[in-house]
Structure 1
Amino acid sequence: MIKNMIFDMGNVLLDYNPQNYVKAFLHSEEDQDMVLTSLFGGQEWLDLDHGLITEREALKKMLQKLPKRLHQEASALFYGWQNYTRPIESVNLLAIKLHRAGYHLYLLSNTGVRLHVYAHRLPALQYFDGVVMSADVQQVKPEPQIYQILFDRYHLDPKECFFIDDCKQNLKTGEQFGMHGYLFDGDEKKLESALHKQKVNW
């Protein structure tokens, strides 16, 4: 029986679209591409998720890849991109309904420490029973260690968990533990149908 709902964050609870963030700061497509690649597409961004580097260290390395004329905009984007995110209202509302129906909610996300800055943007997060973010534990999905941390920290039986993520590989690891998984593609109605098939009702 499903008792616990495990949510990813990016593109599940919160829209994550770096292309749109870059457009808010730069007009030239060439400049947008350079900054997008340097900030969001490099090893430094992955290291931030992994908790292996500070934001200051990451930005310094990122700026070294860019011409000086873009440093000001790139720095502003690095520290302010979260201001351009929006919660996915339908999934946040569903999470709140599930909480009120008695299910336990948990967040399992690959994210840097900046989550602590923009967590208030997620209406449902106040109802969550626990959070495991990669930068805090220095493990990332789909590595099995971060899943084990979630199970151990909150005393969860994987077979009683329903895991919602937008990445197949992340779900595959969860399923190896025995979790029920669902690949979210933005269609909340299909998600609701998948939950009902697992006898999850609200």
Structure 2
Amino acid sequence: MRYTSIIFDLGAVLIDWNPRLLYRKIFDTETEIDHFLSHVATSDWNEMQDAGRSLAEGTEQLVKMHPQHETPIRAYYGRWREMLAGPIGETVELFHQLKQQPGLHCYALTNWSAETFPIALENYPFLQWFDGIVVSGQEGMRKPTPAFYELLLERYHIDRHHTLFIDDNARNVAAAEALGIESVVFTNAAALAEVLYEKGILPRPQ
């Protein structure tokens, strides 16, 4: 099959974002961090901001629910930059190689707050390589909502039957596959490279 489009997730695929990088400066033990991220500043709570809720509203709501954790809660977005470890270099290199392939276009579909995404744009020049980026916080919807995928496909006239979607979240991959988009769960750059070679999207190094 001839592929004409690659769709990337960003966090944990091209950009190393990890709240633990911040909370290791705030809490004394990994156990405390585990409890805070599992029971207070949960992924479900963070995804509400990714879906368009303002950082201020999300923060104030959580402080009211857990006033004893006010300081670390306010740090979540107040010190959000400290959660960024930088680009995942090996995957960025694969992205660079994909950009050199004739007739192949690259897009990003990301669950990301509209308020923090400009920080990523400022810090990671490779984001300018994409032919289009759709950000959940800007659209008021997020993966795995089918309409979010459809929005990307329609906006950039992407043929789903000649596309590969890459995401580290199996839930998001399953949603894409249900829409007829061939997908792969990202684990690391080496495994992704092998997929790209096997599918003939990138030439295998000699």
> TM-score range, shorter-chain basis?
0.7 to 0.9
Q: Does 1:193 align with 2:186?
A: no
Q: Does 1:10 align with 2:11?
A: yes
* Identical aligned residues as a percent: 27
Amino acid of the structure 2 residue aligned with 1:5: I
Structure 2 equivalent of residue 89 of structure 1: 89
Q: Does 1:141 align with 2:143?
A: yes
| Cα deviation, residue 108, structure 1 | 0.5
Q: Provide the secondary structure at the position in 2 that maps to 1:146.
A: helix
| Cα deviation, residue 67, structure 1 | 3.9
CA distance in 2, matches of 1:40, 1:119: 24
Amino acid of the structure 2 residue aligned with 1:76: A
CA deviation map 1:35-63 (0-9, x unaligned) = 43466306532211111x21111111122
Structure 2 equivalent of residue 154 of structure 1: 156
Structure 2 equivalent of residue 128 of structure 1: 130
CA distance in 2, matches of 1:110, 1:173: 14
| Cα deviation, residue 139, structure 1 | 1.6
Amino acid of the structure 1 residue aligned with 2:182: H
Gaps of 5+ in 1: none
| Cα deviation, residue 111, structure 1 | 1.4
Structure 2 equivalent of residue 20 of structure 1: 21
Tell whether the 8 Å contact from 1:87 to 1:123 is kept in structure 2 after alignment.
no
Q: Provide the secondary structure at the position in 2 that maps to 1:64.
A: helix
Tell whether the 8 Å contact from 1:18 to 1:40 is kept in structure 2 after alignment.
no
| Cα deviation, residue 121, structure 1 | 3.2
Tell whether the 8 Å contact from 1:2 to 1:160 is kept in structure 2 after alignment.
yes
Structure 2 equivalent of residue 171 of structure 1: 173
CA distance in 1, matches of 2:43, 2:91: 29
Gaps of 5+ in 2: none
| Cα deviation, residue 80, structure 1 | 1.9
Tell whether the 8 Å contact from 2:110 to 2:135 is kept in structure 1 after alignment.
yes
Cα pair distance change 1:100/1:118, threshold 3 Å: same
Structure 2 equivalent of residue 100 of structure 1: 100
Amino acid of the structure 1 residue aligned with 2:96: I
Tell whether the 8 Å contact from 1:87 to 1:122 is kept in structure 2 after alignment.
yes
Cα pair distance change 1:110/1:39, threshold 3 Å: farther
Cα pair distance change 1:117/1:140, threshold 3 Å: same
Q: Provide the secondary structure at the position in 2 that maps to 1:136.
A: helix
| Cα deviation, residue 109, structure 1 | 1.0
Cα pair distance change 1:121/1:38, threshold 3 Å: farther
CA distance in 1, matches of 2:40, 2:96: 33
| Cα deviation, residue 33, structure 1 | 4.5
Greater than 4 Å deviation, 4+ residue runs: 28-31
Amino acid of the structure 2 residue aligned with 1:148: E
